[in-house]
Structure 1
Amino acid sequence: MVTKNEILDAALGALREGETLTLDVVAKRAGLTKPGVVHHFKTKEALTVAVVERLMDLWESDLTNRVGKNADSHDRLSAYIDFAFTADMDPSDLAVLADARLRDKLGELWIERLNPWFGESITKDPVELASIRAARLLADGAWFDRALGTVQFTTSELNDILALAQQLIERKNES
């Protein structure tokens, strides 16, 4: 019997290969009938939300493996930056963008699940917070670009940009 996670992994596989996320496509990839998928996910919306939740589970597992469960906000942000620049990425990592009609719902899920990794609670100092947000935006851009595969960097270039992002979160207010 095919499990929910196997169905969700089949859906991520479809996205990875550039297919549209539909109940029919997922059923075929999972070796099920469409009613077999609908048994687990009543609607395409339910499937899409579950796919994004599965993706977030995989990301959080990777992030936690990088720093441990009890990491502080700074270490979590550092892990997110490292993850965005070094983790294996492909088009399935863009599942949060899979359905424009679900943008708000999927955006809320993104924030809920990943906000603890973004370092917003590290400081209230405006200069330090700007540096933290700049580092996070570099990481978000790296994640997005790497998932799309539109720009190719050498390992040296990627390491230099990663080091720059990490330096931004080490910046201290000098006043």
Structure 2
Amino acid sequence: MTKRNPEETNLRLLEAASTIIAERGVDALTLDAVAQAAGVSKGGLLHHFASKETLIARLIEYNFATFETDLAQSLDPEEPVGTPGRWTRAYIKVSFATAARASDIGVAFALMTRQRPDQVRTIAASTSRIWEELDHDGLDPVQSILIRSAADGVYYNEMTGNPPLPEPLRTHLRNALLDMTYATTTITLEGTHP
């Protein structure tokens, strides 16, 4: 009999949970359903995740870690470290690419905020690391916040279950945000409007 790799089993369980939420909604997320979808026994699932709450918390950690990995992999290797806008361009690309799978993360995150506020602090620390990179990306601070807010808006729009922006508008917005990362315009904090 072949012994399964615990890390592979853990990953299969997380992916099964994510798929169930995405395809059937959070109400369909049961330990039995996850175990069956992953091809493991319920006892095997409980070996990895002691409860549904633990599974949900780990699913959110996994999705945020995946976002961070995708972000690092999206950095253009042709651009030297320190090139203005390099991190922001990667952030835009990953935000738009992962927005389509954001609704399952959003539902799980909403559940977790009620059940595990301590876990929310862990996620906030992860987000702070990303924002630190973006804040020191060499772009005008106001411009950086505008770009980040627009990219986050697309992501959170889909995370909350709203319909995605229609194509080609979505692609045009993504490209406009990427173009803004190359601009050398300085936006004054004082503004010119009453």
TM-score, L = length of structure 2: 0.70
Q: Is 1:104 aligned to 2:104, yes or no?
A: no
CA RMSD of aligned residues (A): 3.0
CA displacement at 1:142 relative to structure 2? 0.9
Q: Which residue of 1 aligns with 2:95?
A: 84
Q: Which ranges in structure 1 are unaligned for 5 or more consecutive residues?
A: none
Q: Is 1:13 aligned to 2:6, yes or no?
A: no
Query: What letter is aligned with 1:27?
Result: A
Residues 6-155 of structure 1 aligned to structure 2 (within 5 Å): 6-20=12-26, 21-67=29-75, 71-72=81-82, 74-87=85-98, 89-90=100-101, 91-94=103-106, 95-102=108-115, 104-118=117-131, 119-122=134-137, 128-147=140-159, 148=161, 150-155=163-168
Cα distance in 2 for residues equivalent to 1:77 and 1:145: 19
Equivalent pairs, count: 171
TM-score, L = length of structure 1: 0.76
Cα distance in 1 for residues equivalent to 2:136 and 2:186: 16
Cα distance in 1 for residues equivalent to 2:90 and 2:20: 28
Note closer, same or farther for the CA distance 1:87–1:42 as it changes in structure 2 (3 Å cut).
Answer: closer
Note closer, same or farther for the CA distance 1:112–1:174 as it changes in structure 2 (3 Å cut).
Answer: closer
Q: Which ranges in structure 2 are unaligned for 5 or more consecutive residues?
A: 189-194
Cα distance in 2 for residues equivalent to 1:139 and 1:30: 33
Note closer, same or farther for the CA distance 1:104–1:75 as it changes in structure 2 (3 Å cut).
Answer: farther
TM-superposition CA deviations, 1:96-120 (whole Å, max 9, x none): 3343414634433333223333312
Cα distance in 2 for residues equivalent to 1:129 and 1:159: 24
Identity of aligned residues (%): 21
CA contact (8 A) 1:131 1:171 kept: no
CA contact (8 A) 2:87 2:137 kept: no
CA contact (8 A) 2:31 2:42 kept: yes
Note closer, same or farther for the CA distance 1:93–1:101 as it changes in structure 2 (3 Å cut).
Answer: closer
Cα distance in 2 for residues equivalent to 1:15 and 1:174: 42
Cα distance in 2 for residues equivalent to 1:81 and 1:53: 21
